[in-house]
Structure 1
Amino acid sequence: MRAISGGIRYLNRVVSDSAKVSDYSVFAVGVIGTIGHPVYWLWWTYIVSANPIRSDHLSYLSAASATRKALDEYGFGDQKERGKVRLVVLEDFTFKVDETVYLFTLFNLIKNALHHIAAHASATLTLTVDRQTLRVHDTGPGIAPEMLPHLFEPFRTAGNSAGTGLGLAYCQRALRAFGGTIRCRSEVGEFTQFTLQFPVVSESEVADHEQKIFERATPLFSGKRILVVDDDAAQRARIRRALSKLGAHVSEAADGEAALTQLRQPTPSDLVLMDVNMPVLDGYTTTERIRADHQNPNWNVLIAACTAEPGNVARALARRAGMDDLVSKSSSMVDLIRALQTLFENGNRYHLRQRVDGFTGKTILVADDDTYSRLVAKTYLERCGASVIEAEHGRAVLARLQEDVIIDAIVMDMNMPGMGGVETTVSIRARTDAYAEVPIIALTSQADMDAVQTCVAAGMNKVLIKPVQVGSPYACVARQFAQHRALNARGNADPSHTPVAPVGKPAPVKEGPLLDEKHLQELVALDLLDQTFLNGIEQIRSTVAQLAASVAARDLASTRGTLHVLLGISGNIGANALHQFVRQIYPRVVEGEWPAEADWLARICSLNDRSAPALQTYFASVKAHRDEPNTLSD
């Protein structure tokens, strides 16, 4: 917990310094993927560290590409610091890892190395990919021999007060989960080298994995209209061949102006793969024009940047322009398909970064027999300004359509008891009123072509594969609204007759079990229930006290920062109910609003008062068990 506090101090320092450094630093502070602000580092640290490394999350990746991605997305302080680091690929290889965990492991190693070589002007850091190994070698001050045996102990930071506290212990845990090892060699005054060794992956294993990727992607890509914008005809042809094999309808444009012309046509597009460096009109400017023209039926289309530029700079520029994701031109076709598949499944990230009021005045019916699935969709759609009506089965959907409230779209599960989504859709499409054309988004857990074709044949407009990310319904429904406006499919109905439905009340925040027993057992297994654990309990208490002071002062910025700290600490220490409650109210505070629940602070204080004694009792019981004599050895 001391090291976690160090990580928080590091975050505060980076946030406070971010306004003083160059534009490049502003671009680079996004630590990973789509994270755009350094304060999310602790949140992401929590997400990675608090959850077990699951074998079903491992995927086959190019070691060179994954390592290059780590360098592209690491938040270097400035170009001088970036200039100290280089990547050498002697022989690429395929390994089986969780990409997020692998990136986090490298971030830890890179951050530690840069910290130690900062005072040595000529020191460098080299990452070498070669035959199932990655060597992370710096020419800094080295590590004292007496410290080497303890490097991989939990919460060791090797003198780096800016560390997250997960450090090398987590790196070792990650490599073991991958079936590999990590070891360190160092000579004082000469170098420090960490060697990550990965198990061999056979060619047949990789081929089988790639085949499964294509099989899983085919239902999602089939029928999708994808526009490839690139001035390189060979690159366009390469992408067209790959996506066409998945059943996608691929069109091409050689520059931004040609892309704008195509997208102004009423035919809806599902995705634009946009090169950023093109003559006539570059990809960034093209995207800005697409997003600004709300009369364009494709203004809300998913846009993925395709670039050979460094990932951190390009990603920031892409996000500012309104692009949803970024893929490297050096990516293999398998990596490209995987990235685009994730984008389709996760929805429009451009809209996830802001509070969207695009559905104000719209009423959306969410039908699913699973209460939690309805809650997720309802909460997010309400945040987008919609009024949400719920139904648990098809007959309830049909009954809702007979009520006075005009429903503008339906998000419906395919499989529900009684009357399912397919049968319900057939009934709706057979109507003779305006509802015969209402947009219907299908939800299904069946990721096969037959299920998708069944939904489409019934008259559903789009199909989302479960588990659905929160942004997906917005992306799909928004595109349907845009297409219906362009095609005037709803006729000439007077819009003044459409009631403006009030935004629904926020879903009640529920509490789970008080403690996360599974996580606590993991801490016990890692031998992390020691004095630092007790210090963590006290830190939660002091953080809650600080939160109360911030609320009393009506200081929203301070409240946000304190909740952020509390979110990470409670998750790491196993205070499940407290963590889950904070996690549910935190997004609203991030958006600049106070929590909707009037008693939210009282509930946090109550959960703290209950969690602290429970954690101390758990600690005492584990300690007592450890102190018991081993009667079998007597």
Structure 2
Amino acid sequence: MTSIRTWPARLFAYYRAYHQPSPLLLRYICLFGLVGYPLLYLLRFVKGGTGYDDFWLRLAVVASLLVLLLRDLWPKALKAYYLHFSYFAVTFALPFLFVFTSLKNGGGPAAVGNTFMAVFLLILLADWRNVIVMLAAGIGLAALAYAVLDPAPRLPMDYVARLPVLLVGVVGGSLFKFALEEATAERVRQAYASLAGSIAHEMRNPMAQVRHSLENIRQALPLPSLNAQTHLVDGRAVDQLYRHVAHGEMAVKRGLQVIAMTLDEVNAKPLDASRLGCLSAGDACSKAVEEYGYANEHERASVQLHVREDFFFRGDETAFVFVLFNLLKNALYYLPASPGLRIEVTVAGGEIRVRDTGPGIKPDVLARLFQPFRTSGKAGGTGLGLSYCRRVVAAFGGTIRCDSVEGSHTEFTLAFPVVAGEELRAKQAEATAQARRVFADRRVLVVEDDAAIRAATRLKLLELCCVVREAADGVEAMQALQSGTYDLVLADLNMPRMDGYELADALRSGRAPANRGTCLVAYTSEPPHLARVKTQSAGFDGFVSKPSDQATLVRVLCDAMAAREASRGRGKGWLSGRRFLLADDNAYNRAAVGGYLRHAGAQVVEVGSGDAALRELAGVDLFDVVLLDIHMPVLGGIETARAIRGADIAQSSVPLLAITAHADPALVAAGREAGFGDFILKPVEAPLLHEKLAMLMGVEPPQRAAPAAPPAPAGALLDENRLMGYVRIGMLDELVEEFLPEIDRLVDRLQDAVDSGDLQEAIDGLHSLVGMSGEAGAQALYRHARQTYIPMLEQHVWPASAEWLPRIRELAGQTGTALREWAAEARSRA
């Protein structure tokens, strides 16, 4: 019984395997049928043909083929049955239709020809097992339908007599197709074997470099020991270790580029046009020559770069550098056999020429040099490198050609459309404007012992409208960092008293707490591949090579600032895909907290009561965390938490975060007992909110940013740090237009409560005012309201002094004026 049940499944598995890689074959036969079936019908009947009128049968076939063709419009649940339906449709459209109409027409040469055509089409559409089954099913059902539906069925003997020929055709066609598939598979296997061997050959050099670097690292390490002891490594050995690591990383990068290039070329992957920008030919060639993974110093000394006339072209730096890598690799291949070989990379006149004094290329090879899987005779090459180069250069709007003389030289010439001066200046102006938006009013500290370089760097940065301070060495820099806050530090690495690495260590270890998370960029003369490894280990966010033009310096600083912002978790995105339920009876508090969450990419559902929160949790949508205000009317936060934990719903165990203006030990204990995982005080600070949410969700929290400026003085009306947070998330206008009127309304509410002697109403009003003023950055008002609120809440008595309310009204008025002025100034800066 088991074999009977599994036989159809195994048979259909062969059919699925035949079509699953791609449904194109079925789509093409559908198109062929949608045209062919109506056309054959018209040829038979429009031109006076006679015989059985199979109009409705052909219409059913065309309908089934049309359904197959429109697979993309099928409901998702039905797409799983596409191949099942195609099995029926093909059997119906080919063997059934042609055999049935042939029997109805009494056989004849036309019937035999049509049947043979149906059989050979079927051979193309299925494996031999399913061809036999589909033929048997189609012919059998057609014969049965003919016998049942025809009033006088008869067996056309001429048609039947040709069935053995049909059988021979099925067997022969199936064998031919099987042989063809085997031959194709063998060619594919050979191609893959050749490609795999070529990639292995290409990877041999990078892997050898990695092994060489690891061997050098092993030799530089102290001798191993089972005893716990401290091993001292001198500075020179540390520097050597970093050099070996840098060389190893370059070799790995080179290997990954070989793999990426091969896959891109095999798949004919187009370049992303959005990545194209204005490149300096001289800078791009210099980067390629410096960063190429040379096997030894002899290889490096064989390559010379000459920038006679720099120009700008449109391209992608990574792709272009790899093009140069390919050309250098091709030339260096002949170095062992020709120790005196020289390679010159020349930039001039809108062209980049790579010329080597190698053995040259034969004319017949030169004619097909840029074709895929063609090599110039080098053993083990993939034959994809130059094809990739041509495709990349063409994507940049350029051309590549090769001129060679056997026994003399080979020269590749890359020609690009030169970016016009006006367009270049427009691009530079756009980049500068974008950098100004990033650095406007930012504080930058330039640390450099060379006064001339400090002055030049200062001039390059002042155009960005930032505040620039200078320090002559690391010691002066630490003094500045301990007495103020900075958004970015640009530090030379080689300085007296305290070098750049020591400065980075002091900064990241917290010796200047307010600047622990400040963006740090190195200014260095070391080779880029070495500087990258060393500065990353030291805690720098980027590095810029000396000397540097303004455009390069600004680009590096902008990239470093973006990387630092991302590492702090302050940018949008770290909560993408997360859903939060926020319950607070005060719509303005909800707007502030919800703004922080949405700015981080979260989806937020806001409700104004505990009852509404319970209704949302009873629905089908799931939440990652529920945030509940403790003090809400009717059903407070603690009562809501108890209801959630006791409810028979899927989210009864959802993490809960309490939001409260005051959290005494009794409240915390009651909240923990009710099911809260943590508490956060009003006004809610975004970094702390993110940390608590990450803890409740069990994920890695974003790095908490150091404060951007010192805390506001105790007597200050406004908390400017908090207000800058509203600027970043785009809520400044909402703060001024909605929060301030609500604060005035709350003050009037307090006056009404005092006039009527309603103590509880006054406590409720103060609770709302504490939350509102804290969220709005009204620091002085918040502190005074909170100092009044807590004793009233705990002791349930009116304040002893009658001046508490006039003072609140006075601070509210002063806050409104100060906040509107601050917002106007912030808008003007933007």
Q: TM-score normalised to the size of structure 1? A: 0.56
- 2:811 is matched with which residue? none
Given candidates 414, 420, 435, the residue that maps to 1:202 is: 420
Given candidates 481, 488, 494, the residue that maps to 1:277 is: 494
Given candidates 433, 438, 446, the residue that maps to 2:685 is: 438
Given candidates 577, 588, 599, the residue that maps to 1:412 is: 599
- 1:143 is matched with which residue? 361
- 1:604 is matched with which residue? none
- 2:209 is matched with which residue? 14
Q: Deviations over 1:524-543 (max 9, x none)?
A: xxxxxxxxxxxxxxxxxxxx
Say if 2:707 is the partner of 1:478: no
Which SS does the other structure have where 1:15 is aligned? Answer: helix
- 1:82 is matched with which residue? 300
Larger Rg: 2
Given candidates 211, 216, 231, the residue that maps to 2:449 is: 231
Query: What is the deviation of 1:167?
Result: 0.7
Q: Deviations over 1:311-364 (max 9, x none)?
A: 223333323333222222233212221222222223479x7xxxxxxx9xxxx9
Which SS does the other structure have where 2:446 is aligned? Answer: strand
Query: How many residue pairs were aligned?
Result: 413
C-alpha distance in 1 between matches for 2:252 and 2:498: 26
Given candidates 322, 330, 333, the residue that maps to 2:547 is: 330
Q: Aligned pair in 2 of structure 1 residues 393, 187: CA closer, same or farther (>3 Å)?
A: farther
Given candidates 209, 217, 221, the residue that maps to 2:439 is: 221
Q: Aligned pair in 2 of structure 1 residues 170, 38: CA closer, same or farther (>3 Å)?
A: closer
Q: Aligned pair in 2 of structure 1 residues 126, 397: CA closer, same or farther (>3 Å)?
A: farther
Query: What is the deviation of 1:165?
Result: 5.9
1:341 aligned partner, one-letter code = C
- 1:105 is matched with which residue? 323
Given candidates 245, 249, 260, the residue that maps to 1:30 is: 249
Q: Aligned pair in 2 of structure 1 residues 214, 392: CA closer, same or farther (>3 Å)?
A: farther
C-alpha distance in 1 between matches for 2:700 and 2:586: 23
Q: How does 1:415-494 map to 2 (within 5 A)?
A: 434-436=681-683, 438-439=685-686, 478=703, 480=705, 482-483=706-707
Q: Aligned pair in 2 of structure 1 residues 486, 96: CA closer, same or farther (>3 Å)?
A: same
1:28 aligned partner, one-letter code = H
Q: Contact conserved, 1:304 with 1:324, CA < 8 A, in 2?
A: yes
Say if 2:301 is the partner of 1:301: no
Q: Aligned pair in 2 of structure 1 residues 100, 435: CA closer, same or farther (>3 Å)?
A: farther
Q: Contact conserved, 2:580 with 2:605, CA < 8 A, in 1?
A: no
- 2:410 is matched with which residue? 192
Which SS does the other structure have where 2:503 is aligned? Answer: helix
My pick for the range that moved more, 169-178 or 19-28, is: 19-28
Q: How does 1:504-519 map to 2 (within 5 A)?
A: none
Q: Decide which structure has greater helix share.
A: 2
Structure 1 residue runs of 5 or longer lacking an equivalent are: 352-358, 379-389, 425-429, 443-459, 461-472, 490-634
C-alpha distance in 1 between matches for 2:313 and 2:529: 24
Query: What is the deviation of 1:162?
Result: 6.6
Q: Contact conserved, 1:29 with 1:75, CA < 8 A, in 2?
A: no
My pick for the range that moved more, 42-51 or 20-29, is: 42-51
Q: How does 1:552-563 map to 2 (within 5 A)?
A: none
Given candidates 351, 372, 382, the residue that maps to 1:154 is: 372
C-alpha distance in 2 between matches for 1:346 and 1:474: 18
C-alpha distance in 1 between matches for 2:417 and 2:310: 14
C-alpha distance in 1 between matches for 2:330 and 2:295: 14
- 1:391 is matched with which residue? 579
Given candidates 91, 115, 118, the residue that maps to 2:336 is: 118
C-alpha distance in 2 between matches for 1:474 and 1:281: 34
1:270 aligned partner, one-letter code = D
1:263 aligned partner, one-letter code = L
Which SS does the other structure have where 1:67 is aligned? Answer: helix
1:326 aligned partner, one-letter code = F
Which SS does the other structure have where 1:273 is aligned? Answer: strand
Which SS does the other structure have where 1:103 is aligned? Answer: helix
C-alpha distance in 2 between matches for 1:181 and 1:70: 19
Query: What is the deviation of 1:199?
Result: 1.0
Q: Aligned pair in 2 of structure 1 residues 131, 431: CA closer, same or farther (>3 Å)?
A: farther
1:205 aligned partner, one-letter code = E
Higher relative contact order (CA 8 A, sep 6+): 1
- 2:527 is matched with which residue? 310
Say if 2:352 is the partner of 1:134: yes
Q: Aligned pair in 2 of structure 1 residues 77, 413: CA closer, same or farther (>3 Å)?
A: same
Q: Aligned pair in 2 of structure 1 residues 235, 415: CA closer, same or farther (>3 Å)?
A: farther
State the Cα RMSD in Å.
4.4
Q: Contact conserved, 2:305 with 2:346, CA < 8 A, in 1?
A: yes
Q: How does 1:324-363 map to 2 (within 5 A)?
A: 324-347=541-564
Which SS does the other structure have where 1:30 is aligned? Answer: helix
Which SS does the other structure have where 1:107 is aligned? Answer: helix
What percentage of residue pairs aligned between the two structures are identical? 34
Say if 2:467 is the partner of 1:249: yes
Q: TM-score normalised to the size of structure 2? A: 0.44
1:271 aligned partner, one-letter code = L
1:30 aligned partner, one-letter code = E
Q: Contact conserved, 1:412 with 1:440, CA < 8 A, in 2?
A: no
Q: Contact conserved, 1:25 with 1:78, CA < 8 A, in 2?
A: no
Q: Contact conserved, 2:478 with 2:512, CA < 8 A, in 1?
A: no
Which SS does the other structure have where 1:264 is aligned? Answer: helix
Q: Contact conserved, 2:522 with 2:544, CA < 8 A, in 1?
A: yes
Q: Deviations over 1:111-155 (max 9, x none)?
A: 222222233221121111111111111112222222212221124
Structure 2 residue runs of 5 or longer lacking an equivalent are: 1-191, 218-239, 607-626, 628-658, 663-680, 691-698, 714-830
C-alpha distance in 2 between matches for 1:238 and 1:21: 40
Q: Aligned pair in 2 of structure 1 residues 114, 324: CA closer, same or farther (>3 Å)?
A: farther
Which SS does the other structure have where 2:400 is aligned? Answer: strand
C-alpha distance in 1 between matches for 2:688 and 2:442: 15
Given candidates 268, 276, 280, the residue that maps to 1:58 is: 276
